[in-house]
Structure 1
Amino acid sequence: MENFDKEKFARAKKRVEEIKSFYIHLAVYLVVNGFILVSIYINSDSFWKWPHFVTLFGWGIGLFFHAAKVFGFNILFGKNWEERQIQKYIEKDKKDIDKYR
């Protein structure tokens, strides 16, 4: 029972650290991109140009995937897909075993 509690604690601690890591990433993203955009706005005649937003969008894509990993959402392979695939292979293994009995 003690090992089980230690494992639960280790999993919970890892999960909290993953979430904390995401929020730190988000804060750095907001601060750095805010600074970049304010700097461009102050020093540029024309703010609304694509090159001014490349960092914002590129890094935003990375931030999105970080959030997807941490919070467990996946557009292509969600939990339901994963569970269906597991059941499919369990059933296939059962049929293969029954075939050789």
Structure 2
Amino acid sequence: MEINYSEEDKYYRAKKKVENIKGFYGNLTSFIFVNIFLIGINLYTSPNHLWFYWPLMWWGIGVVFHGLKVFEVFPAFGKDWEEKKIKELMEREKENKGKWQ
């Protein structure tokens, strides 16, 4: 079941993808600069007690998952999958409706 998109739909999808990529790079940039700042604060104020790795680790996990989603590393859970599943369910509903009429 292939989906044919109009030029307007293709443009909208491409624009949305670019916005998602831009959002990821914003998140990554914030992650880098904020964590450099936190490392500096930690090493300056309490070098004997290192805590900077906690926000680095947890935020880093979030950045990795954000990147996996944006760059569709697991396409089975992307927008295309959602749209195909919706169409499949709509077709199934149409078939079931026809059986009872």
Q: Same fold (TM over 0.5)?
A: yes
Q: Counterpart amino acid of 1:28?
A: S
Q: Does the CA contact (< 8 Å) of 2:21 and 2:70 recur in 1?
A: yes
Alignment size in residue pairs: 75
* Normalised TM-score (structure 2): 0.65
C-alpha distance in structure 2 between counterparts of 1:28 and 1:34, whole Å? 10
Which position in structure 2 is the counterpart of 1:53? Answer: 53
C-alpha distance in structure 1 between counterparts of 2:36 and 2:60, whole Å? 13
Aligned-pair CA distance for 1:44: 1.8
Q: Does the CA contact (< 8 Å) of 2:28 and 2:63 recur in 1?
A: yes
Q: Counterpart amino acid of 2:43?
A: Y
Aligned-pair CA distance for 1:46: 2.0
Task: Choose from 7, 10, 13 the match for 1:11.
Answer: 13
C-alpha distance in structure 1 between counterparts of 2:53 and 2:31, whole Å? 13
Deviation digits for residues 17-41 of structure 1 (CA, Å, limit 9, x no counterpart): 0000000000111111111011111
C-alpha distance in structure 1 between counterparts of 2:47 and 2:7, whole Å? 60
Any runs of at least 4 consecutive aligned residues in structure 1 with deviations exceeding 2 A, and if so which? Answer: none
Which position in structure 2 is the counterpart of 1:44? Answer: 46
Which position in structure 2 is the counterpart of 1:72? Answer: 72
Secondary structure of 1:72's aligned partner: coil
Q: CA RMSD in A?
A: 2.4
Q: Does the CA contact (< 8 Å) of 2:35 and 2:52 recur in 1?
A: no
C-alpha distance in structure 2 between counterparts of 1:19 and 1:45, whole Å? 36
% identical equivalent positions: 35
Secondary structure of 2:52's aligned partner: helix
C-alpha distance in structure 2 between counterparts of 1:45 and 1:6, whole Å? 56
